[in-house]
């Protein structure tokens, strides 16, 4: 991954708090890393089809789900995301041949690590969504939102900032 692409993704993660509104009645803030070729197109199809799903998801488009560094997931949780979703092409349909399989292995290791250190693993999700599955994307967002809502606001990895100075 190029330096510019990595900086773009980290900048989007750093702007997380200002991008996702926090209504008076708490709603989970979910960051979704979507593969450009399938999952992002599925999200687009859900939008143009006017399918209803929770609006509290911030999408970051990535070239491939394999490009999602575990550091991005940890940084999102640290910056206040209540949940993270990584979604890519179905196995055998990856534009980069096996990128989604690499992502699945990486995600399984990250989830095992989070479980080992006592983190709520239901805050991180991995899924396959194709470009033709707008309905599947909307349903996935509803499912992830409900699972994260049941856990309540994230507190374990969230860094607190007070006027730019860590406390």
Domain annotation covers residue 132 = yes
- The average confidence (pLDDT) of the chain is 89
> For residue range 73-130, what is the model confidence (pLDDT) as tens digits?
999 999 989 999 999 999 999 999 999 999 999 999 999 999 999 999 999 999 999 9
Domain annotation covers residue 23 = no
Q: Which domain holds residue 135?
A: 28-155
Domain annotation covers residue 110 = yes
Domain annotation covers residue 4 = no
Q: Give CA–CA dist 87/91, Å, rounded.
A: 12
CATH number assigned to the domain comprising residue 64 = 3.40.50
Q: Which two tokens stand for residue 62?
A: 């990535």
Domain annotation covers residue 88 = yes
Domain annotation covers residue 19 = no
Relative orientation angle of helices 39-48 and 134-151, to the nearest 10 degrees: 100
pLDDT at residue 167 above 50? no
Domain annotation covers residue 164 = no
Domain annotation covers residue 166 = no
Percent helix, strand, coil in the chain, to 5, is: 45, 15, 40
Query: What is the total count of domains within the chain?
Result: 1
> For residue range 119-129, what is the model confidence (pLDDT) as tens digits?
999 999 999 99
């Amino acid at each position: 991954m190029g330096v510019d692409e990595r900086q773009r993704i980290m900048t989007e993660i750093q702007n997380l708090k200002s991008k996702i509104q926090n209504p008076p009645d708490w709603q989970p803030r979910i960051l979704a890393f979507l593969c450009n070729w399938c999952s992002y197109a599925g999200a687009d199809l859900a939008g143009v089809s006017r399918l209803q799903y929770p609006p509290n998801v911030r999408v970051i488009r990535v070239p491939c789900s394999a490009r999602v560094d575990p550091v991005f997931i940890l940084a999102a949780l640290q910056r206040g995301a209540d949940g993270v979703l990584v979604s890519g092409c179905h196995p055998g349909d990856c534009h980069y041949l096996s990128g989604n399989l690499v992502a699945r292995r990486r995600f399984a290791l990250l989830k095992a690590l989070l479980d080992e250190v006592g983190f709520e693993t239901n805050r991180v999700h991995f899924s396959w969504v194709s470009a033709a599955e707008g309905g599947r994307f909307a349903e996935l967002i509803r499912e992830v939102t409900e699972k994260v809502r049941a856990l309540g606001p994230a507190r374990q990895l969230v860094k607190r900032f007070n006027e730019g100075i860590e406390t």
